[in-house]
Structure formats: C-alpha cells, structure tokens
Amino acid sequence: MTSPAPWHALLAPLPADAVPRRKPVGSPEVLASPEGAAIAGWEQVSIELTAAGAGLRVLLAVLDASARPIAASDHVFFRRPGAPGEPAFIRQESIGGRIEADGSFSGTCWLVTGPEPREEEPPEWESTPRPPTEAEVAALRALVTELLARAP
C-alpha cells in the first residue's frame, strides 16, 4: 500500500483549516433518562478529515461536565480498491484511551488490516493491539490541546 497523505497519518499535525465539531455525548432522550444524568454536560469534540472515498481520519476528545478531557482517540482508516473481482483492502490505525484525573493515560494502539468482507461473509481482518509509547501519548495530548483550542 502506498504511503498516505501526511494528514492521514496517525498522530500527524492537523491541517490549518480543520474545524472541530462540538456536541453532547448522548442524545436528548438518553440525557433526560435517570441513567443519562451521570453524563449530563459531557461533550465530544471531534475533527473528521476525508480524502474522497479512500481515507478517513477522526480525532475525538470527550470532556466531562467541567470541560476536562477524560478520553481521547485518533483513528486513521484507509480503503484501497482491489483488482476487478477482488475485495478492497482495509487498514485502520488507532490510538485511544482514558485520561485520568492525575493526567495519566490508559489506552491501546490498534492496527487492523485485511480484505473488505464480501456480502454475507464474516470479516477476515488481522487485529493487533499494543500499548502506546510515551511519544505517542505525548502526541495525542498535543492534538487534544490543539483540538480544544480550535473548538467553538
């Protein structure tokens, strides 16, 4: 697979024109329920970047009611069409996890690859988890800081 554009690399800097969206973490119906009261005031702030039908990147931060980031993730998804009659190839790279009150991060990096499933067939993807490095956690923190600085 050829190298993706720089802005479709996991933990890459965000394009200057990327604008985040802010919305509640739950629907109004969920937030109005007794169970939803625990997440009332929580928000998600995200940026989605696309490259035609070939790729998608989503950076997401979840904020508690005091606007403190409590979770963050960066996902890069690629779909490369296959040869005629062959399935497309899927590749997803992700880092995500919880940001604790003391500032520590508990999360996982994932690499998922394989052919796109044909209709009525189960996926045959290879999924490889690993702990994130300190540099990856620092890069995710920097992206969350930038994301929140840009948020409306």
Per-residue pLDDT tens digits for 32-48: 898 888 898 999 999 99
pLDDT value of position 21 = 95
pLDDT value of position 128 = 94
Contact 100, 84 (CB under 8 A): no
Contact 91, 112 (CB under 8 A): yes
pLDDT value of position 150 = 93
Distances (CA, A) of 64 to 33, 45, 69, 144: 18, 11, 7, 14
Report the alpha-carbon distance of residue 9 to residue 4 in Å, rounded. 7
First-residue to last-residue Cα distance in the chain? 37
Listed as ranges, residues in the chain with pLDDT below 70 are 1-7, 52-54
